[in-house]
Amino acid sequence: MESRDLSYRRGEVEMAYTESPGPAGRAFVLVHGIGMGRVVFAGVGDVLAERGRVLALDLPGFGDSPEPGSAHSIELTAEVVAGFIAETASGPVVLVGHSMGTQIVAEVARRRPELVERLVLIAPTVNRHERRAILQALRMLQDLTGEGPKVLLLGLWEYAKTSPAWFLRKLRYMLDHRLERVCPEIEAPALVLRGETDRVCPRDWVAEVARLLPRGEMAEIPGRGHEAIIKSAEPVASMILDFAERPRRA
């Protein structure tokens, strides 16, 4: 079966998502970062679908999902994503978040541990040592320097779909959220990935996130920056699969 574009509704919130059928027994749920959409996971999702079902979301107000009627914090968005997993997946999932998406999936894993088999945090935000909007913006500009046309054009296209007011509101929620307080309460095995040249997420900060997770570990993506999943599917897809398919400990 080919991938299908579908829609999920929970109260006032509607989310577009893509379902890519795969072999039974494992499901991957992919959650993008601020200003982006599920399209950033297209290549990674294709590889993961060879080994399991893939569900890639457009968070409320991003990509093809409309803005909800009221503001949604990181925590409230996590509740919507948790509801989506509970209603759409047939068991615990491998939950993958990128950038702002790491904050959302971490909240899901903390609040609803029964829904998460394993957790993957790619380029976790927000660095607690630089919790200012201007610093985050400067880091992103630094990181984009030298990126190829694919990353830049896709980023511009996705950002154009988001209203400036909604973007700024979510940025404020990102800055208010404390990932470092959430991580110690997460039970699931967790892999924390950082692009080798990522200026938004310095190595020391990402290592701190991995240490705070009771079952966390860190790895770097060679030759990649913050938008590591856009440039190409590999090596991120294989790193996720290697982690997801490790034998479960008794």
Range of the domain at 169: 4-244
Residue 143, pLDDT > 90, answer: no
d(CA 21, CA 206): 32
pLDDT band at 141 (very low <50, low <70, confident <90, very high): low
Residue 132, pLDDT > 80, answer: no
Identify the weakest region by mean pLDDT among 37-51, 138-152, 181-195. 138-152
Which alpha helices (H) appear in the chain, and where do they start and end? 42-48, 74-88, 100-111, 133-144, 149-160, 164-176, 179-182, 203-212, 228-231, 236-244
For residues 31 and 232, the model is more confident at 31
Average pLDDT over the chain reads 87
Q: What percent of the chain clears pLDDT 90, i.e. is strictly above it?
A: 61
Considering only CA atoms, give the Rg of the chain: 16
Query: Would you state the pLDDT for residue 191?
Result: 98
What is the arithmetic mean of pLDDT over 111-139? Answer: 82
Residue 56, pLDDT > 50, answer: yes
Residue 71, pLDDT > 70, answer: no
If phi over 0 gives left and psi between -120 and 50 gives alpha, with beta otherwise, what is residue 39? alpha
- What are the residues whose beta carbons fall under 8 Å from the beta carbon of 211, sequence distance 6 or more? none
Residue 57, pLDDT > 80, answer: yes
Query: Would you state the pLDDT for residue 155?
Result: 46
What is the arithmetic mean of pLDDT over 80-103? Answer: 95
For residues 144 and 91, the model is more confident at 91
pLDDT band at 134 (very low <50, low <70, confident <90, very high): low
pLDDT band at 160 (very low <50, low <70, confident <90, very high): low
pLDDT band at 133 (very low <50, low <70, confident <90, very high): low
DSSP string over 96-134: EEETHHHHHHHHHHHH-GGGEEEEEEES----GGG--HH
Domain-located, residue 112: yes
Domain-located, residue 249: no
Identify the weakest region by mean pLDDT among 36-40, 194-198, 206-210, 229-233. 229-233
pLDDT band at 229 (very low <50, low <70, confident <90, very high): confident
User: How many independent structural domains does the chain possess?
Assistant: 1
What is the arithmetic mean of pLDDT over 111-117? Answer: 98
Query: Would you state the pLDDT for residue 149?
Result: 47
For residues 28 and 25, the model is more confident at 28
Domain-located, residue 250: no
d(CA 181, CA 74): 14
How is the chain split among helix, strand and coil, in percent rounded to 5? 45, 20, 35
pLDDT band at 153 (very low <50, low <70, confident <90, very high): very low
For helices 74-88 and 164-176, what crossing angle results, to 10°? 100
Residue 191's CATH number: 3.40.50.1820
d(CA 3, CA 16): 13
Query: Would you state the pLDDT for residue 189?
Result: 97
- Cα of first residue to Cα of last residue in the chain, in angstroms, is 34
Any bridge partners for residue 56, and if so which? 18, 30
